Amino acid sequence: MFRSALLAATLALAPVTAALADDDKGRISITGTASIDATPDLATVNAGVESTAPTARDALTANSRKMNAVFDAIKALGIEDRDVGTSNFNISQHWRHGPDGSKPDGYRVSNQVSLRLRDVSRVGEVLDALTTAGVNQAGNIRFEVENADTLLDDARAEAVAKARKRAELYAAAAGVSLGKVMSISEGGFRPGPQPQYAAMEARMASAPPIAPGEQKLSVSVTLTWALVE
């Protein structure tokens, strides 16, 4: 009795297992990729002032005076408040190292501001104005494409078309046809801001030439189809 029940259960489960196996074999997944070249239309400039003095109060006072001049220059450039923000502020004690060991040697105050420029052609002009106002510390200039997602839409359509074309090729070679799309997933690479390092000195030549270049925006799309005999 027990053996008969076990055999019946085995036979009942067999068609389900076979169906799952056939379904797994009846699919094809292909990845298509596409890319576009885009000219950056946003630039981020990081610049600031570093001041040193025997006491923290004196260093902070000197730094604040210089940064006020920098902010006045930023305002004169017509840069909107939403595009201006403090990116780093630091007060630290400076140490002098000698044969007798390390000794405190004043204080250092650093204040960094980040500017977003919506006209990349103004980067040189802005650098000139900032250094003239007293900027003596900076990191890099970063360029990016503001509407990258919208620009990628054409690349997405191209990537899907490439994936379908390749899937149809494989399906035809195997003697089957593509059925319905089972899944779609997107991957790819959208570069972040591209840095261009600009060593900034207190006496920089007026309006240094800056070239934003182009950025490559790429996308990959993986599609899975059911196969039909």
Q: What is the pLDDT of residues 117-127, one digit of tens each?
A: 999 999 989 99
What is residue 217's three-state secondary structure?
A: strand
| Residue type at 183 in one-letter notation | S
Confidence of residue 208 (pLDDT cuts 50, 70, 90): low
Q: Yes or no: say if 27 and 226 are a contact pair by the CB < 8 Å rule.
A: yes
**pLDDT confidence of residue 4:** 37
**pLDDT confidence of residue 189:** 58
Q: Yes or no: say if 87 and 140 are a contact pair by the CB < 8 Å rule.
A: no
Distance between CA atoms of 143 and 211, rounded to whole angstroms? 10
Give the residue carrying structure tokens 């990081």.
46
pLDDT > 70? residue 134? yes
Distance between CA atoms of 87 and 110, rounded to whole angstroms? 11
Q: Yes or no: say if 167 and 137 are a contact pair by the CB < 8 Å rule.
A: no
Mean pLDDT of 89-109: 89
Domain 43-146+193-213 CATH assignment equals 3.30.70.2970: yes
Q: What is the pTM of this model?
A: 0.64
Which range has the worst mean pLDDT, 18-22, 33-37, 56-60, 66-70?
18-22
**pLDDT confidence of residue 5:** 34
pLDDT > 50? residue 76? yes
Which range has the worst mean pLDDT, 92-96, 106-110, 173-177?
92-96
